[in-house]
Amino acid sequence: MSAPAPDPEPLSPGLYIVATPIGNLGDITLRAIDILRRCDGVACEDTRVTGKLLKHLGISRPLWRYDDHSEPRDRERLVDSMATRSVALVSDAGTPLVSDPGYRLVNDARAQGVPVTVIPGASAAIAGLTVSGMPNDRFLFAGFLPGKDKARRETLEELAGIDATLVFYETAPRLLKSLAQIEQSLPNRDIAVARELTKMHEECRRGLAAGLIAWFEAHPPKGEIVLLVGPPPETTASGDDVDRLLLDAMQSEKPSRAAALVAKQTGRERSALYGRALELREK
């Protein structure tokens, strides 16, 4: 009979931020397994979800439910316990804190001088960005778009002038509405819909909004989605063209709205256009 495996060496006290897979369980890292095996306990969004992952890994550790809506007192207790205990923080999938709980916990732990260690791994935003082949020298992760129409439009208009690929998390029921608003607020952009990454039905579709809307109307999307919007096309509008567009728009709109409209038309920075609109109005 072989001797039982020795108990793993305990970790030094502190907070360990552990990324977990976004679909394919094979994406767990060796280091994540090691930390989950050796920690004193795991703070997680949903004990059932994390319990299943640990069971799959053959690990048994105490699980403590934690999210950013947990009572401040509970967070304080958890942070205090890190003076003597090693706590792993995980979310349901991917990297904690990225549109997931953990920001307050990490911030408070750092403020208390608790050692904080990251165990990096999968994140849907980066997986979507890389698989899409969209420009990635500059990108802006903007989380989930708001659910309400007006707020969604305003958010997209605010982002329209940014010279970078925009990365959003999206849900299947809202995808068509978001694509329709992108078509209006950010016309002529290259778009990618990266769906069910690392899972059986993984797909990534690229195109203009109109083509993607037609496709997803015919093939209603399911599952989890990263939505990417390419940077504004290179503008060819000269300064004179821009002034003319601003003056035309200001016949019916306030300078701020005129700047937003011309930003969409030309891909130029909205704040600079707003400044120019005010100058033109003074003349």
Residue ranges binding ligand SAM (CB under 6 A): 22-23, 91, 93-95, 98-100, 123-124, 169-171, 194-199, 224-226
Q: Which two tokens stand for residue 69?
A: 């809506």
Q: Which residue lies nearer to ligand SAM by CB, 10 or 143?
A: 143
Nearest to 87 by CA among 69, 68, 114, 108: 114
Give whichever of 127 and 277 is closer to ligand SAM, judged by the CB atom: 127
Q: For residues 45 and 190, which CB has a smaller minimum distance to ligand SAM in the complex? A: 45
Residue, CB closest to ligand SAM: 94
Least distance from ligand SAM to the Cβ atom of residue 88, Å: 15
Buried/exposed code over 109-127 (b: 16+ C-beta within 10 A; e: otherwise)? beeeebebeebebbbbbbb
User: What is the Cα Rg of the chain in Å?
Assistant: 24
Supply angle C-alpha 260, 266, 268, rounded to 5.
70
Q: Which helix (H) or strand (E) holds 15?
A: strand 14-18
Backbone angles phi, psi at 116, to 5 degrees: -120, 130
For ligand SAM, which is the closer residue by CB, 226 or 262? 226
Give 20's DSSP letter: B
Q: Closest approach of Cβ 145 to ligand SAM, in Å?
A: 10
Q: What is the DSSP string of 184-208?
A: HHSTT--EEEEESTTSTT-EEEEE-
Q: How far is the CB of 79 from ligand SAM (least distance, A)?
A: 21
* 8 A C-beta contact, residue 201 and residue 250: no
Measured from the CB atom, the residue of 225 and 245 that comes closer to ligand SAM is: 225
CA–CA separation, 118 and 124 (whole Å) = 17
Our CB check for ligand SAM shows the closer of 50 and 123 to be: 123
Q: Are 61 and 36 in contact (CB under 8 A)?
A: yes
What's the closest the beta carbon of residue 27 comes to ligand SAM, in angstroms?
10
- 100 or 190: CB nearest ligand SAM: 100
Minimum distance, C-beta of residue 282 to ligand SAM, in the bound complex (Å): 45
Closest approach of ligand SAM to the CB of residue 92, in Å: 7
Residue 283 CB, nearest distance to ligand SAM (Å)? 47
